[in-house]
Amino acid sequence: TEELIHRTEKLSVVGQLAAGIAHEIRNPLTAIKGFTQLLRKESHNDYFEVMLSELERIEEIVSDLLILAKPQPSKTEKVHIGALIEDTIDLFKSEALLRNVEIHSHIQLTHQCIEGEADKLKQVYINLIKNAIEAMPDGGTIEISAYPENGKIITQIKDSGIGIPDERLSKLGEPFYSTKEQGTGLGLMICNRIIKNHNGKMKIESTAGAGTTIHVCFPSYTHEHKKMKA
């Protein structure tokens, strides 16, 4: 029965996804079609700008969907998680500066590894740091910590942003649930899938108006040599 429940769940997620994709892709397509019809008659530069931004939106949705379609590690390696998080933070240096956000890292990991696929794990921290930055429109601070504990590697991303009201917490991770104008609502769902496939766990703690802390933990490679889920 467990397997059956699992499969039914999968089917409804696929259905939800299909409906969401159709809905999300239709809006930018309608805009582009309209402007293209107008351009048949005369040329306007501002139409091109809208077309370009709508095309970028489609691109974003499609690339998120592609990640979602393949969340499981395609190869497993020993990943130095501390270094991976530091590298990911570096990717956001210029964006953080631009948006008045300070990122402080407290990485207390040296040799510790987890088993999995580096690119997928990086995607998790990219999505979480991006959300943290987007939660602070007037700037703020992000504290990123990582440390070993009881055979696990605990990581936390804490922001001083807008937070999430209790009634919205349960909706997080549903496909296409986004409170942002330009959001795809796929970021947390992707994180969830990748973390599960690495035998990890994610927990969201948030207070509206005060900030959000995302806890992500993985089994440490040295303590656990479980086979990855297929």
Interface residues toward ligand ADP, by CB under 6 A: 127, 131-132, 135, 159, 161-164, 172, 177-180, 183-189, 212
86 burial (CB, 10 Å; 0-12 / 13-18 / 19+) is middle
Rounded to the nearest whole angstrom, what is the least distance from the CB of residue 130 to ligand ADP in the complex?
Answer: 7
Q: Which of 139, 159, 152 is nearest to 206 (CA)?
A: 159
Q: What binding mask, one character per residue, do residues 30-59 give for Mg ion by CB under 5 A, x or -?
A: ------------------------------
Binders in 118-147 for Mg ion, by CB under 5 A: 131
Rounded to the nearest whole angstrom, what is the least distance from the CB of residue 20 to Mg ion in the complex?
Answer: 15
Would you give the DSSP letter of residue 31? H
Residues found in the chain: 230
184: amino acid identity, one letter:
T
- If the CB atoms of residues 96 and 113 are measured against ligand ADP, the closer one turns out to be 96
Q: Quick one: which of 20, 116, 173, 187 contacts Mg ion (CB under 5 A)? A: 187
136: amino acid identity, one letter:
M
Sheet strands (E) in the chain: 77-80, 101-107, 113-116, 140-149, 152-159, 201-207, 211-219
Rounded to the nearest whole angstrom, what is the least distance from the CB of residue 76 to Mg ion in the complex?
Answer: 26
Rounded to the nearest whole angstrom, what is the least distance from the CB of residue 117 to ligand ADP in the complex?
Answer: 20
- If the CB atoms of residues 17 and 83 are measured against ligand ADP, the closer one turns out to be 17
